[in-house]
Amino acid sequence: METEKVLQQFGLDQKAIKVYLALLQLGKASVLNIAKKAEIKRPTAYLILDELVEKGLASKIPKKSKTTYIAENPRNLSKIADKRKSEIEKIIPDLLSIYKTQKEKPTVHMYEGEEGVMQLYNHIAEAVAKNKNIWWYGDAKKINERLPNVLPMFFQLVKDKKIQMRDFNGGSEFEKKYAKKHQRANYEIRHSPLPIHNIDMAIFDDKIAIISLFDKIYSVIIQDKNIAESLKSLYELAWRSGEKVKK
């Protein structure tokens, strides 16, 4: 029932809802009659009725012979909701300060094995297709050996001229041949003056992906704007020292 779902938002469990609805129907009644109507045990009814009184949904009428309870006007639910909203508004600044702190912390995800790393490459491809920019640093020869589907997948992206890619690699014979064949106006390749072995790195959006291509393949993706911007500066320094591909 929709009514029960809404009442649950006021902290009432199934038994408490039964008691509250029974009390609304009875108007004023003893604990025994309320327990029978709600189909629960009498000791349980006592505990729940005290809870309803505390929430402002019922009132206790003490008598010498026996205590009776009466339901408060259901419109009190609106007052309770307004009070709760007011209390929440008071703590929102504190919650936002915590939320901001958490947002500023880098998020890290790890992928293991060829299947997991291919999942990461697919994630990168989807992100690049949307944001149109990515910088690579890595051992393209080793990527081709260990994960032969990766280079063709990203070269397909290059065919969309809106994609802008940089590729800074180790300059092996394979990488030089690859560069002459695939470099385009929107896919610039340069070779490092120093060797790059068994690693691939991508910088895109506010993320850095680092892939280890040693015997055990795994990767880590870090999402943090400040780290990404700092690594872009380092990448730019390395890029300027790189050997341009001759046409």
* Mean predicted lDDT score pLDDT of the chain: 87
Q: Considering all CA atoms of the chain, what is the largest pairwise distance in Å, rounded to the nearest integer? A: 103
Q: Which helix (H) or strand (E) holds 133?
A: strand 133-138
Prediction pTM value: 0.58
The pLDDT tens digits for 208-235 are 999 999 988 999 999 998 899 999 999 9
Compute the half-sphere exposure of residue 221: CA atoms within 13 Å on the CB side of its CA.
Answer: 20
Q: 2: part of which helix (H) or strand (E)? A: helix 2-8
Q: How far apart are CA 201 and CA 159, in angstroms?
A: 21
Residue showing tokens 């915590």: 98
Domain containing residue 114: 107-244
Domain boundary among 35, 60, 77: 77
Q: What's residue 136's pLDDT?
A: 95
Q: Report pLDDT digits (tens) over 70-87.
A: 888 888 788 878 877 888
Task: Tell me: do 117 and 165 sit in the same domain.
Answer: yes
Inside any domain, residue 160: yes
Q: What is the pLDDT of residue 235?
A: 95
User: At which of 77, 98, 122 does a domain end?
Assistant: 77
Q: What is the pLDDT of residues 14-55, one digit of tens each?
A: 888 888 888 888 888 888 888 888 898 988 888 888 888 888
Output the pLDDT for position 1: 58
pLDDT higher than threshold 70 for residue 11: yes
Last residue of a domain, one of 21, 55, 77: 77
Is pLDDT above 70 for 169?
Answer: yes
- pLDDT at position 178: 92
Domain count, the chain: 2
Closest CA to 198 of 211, 182, 185, 180: 211
Which residues 6+ apart lie within 8 Å of 221 measured at CB?
108, 109, 110, 111, 120, 123, 207, 208, 209, 210
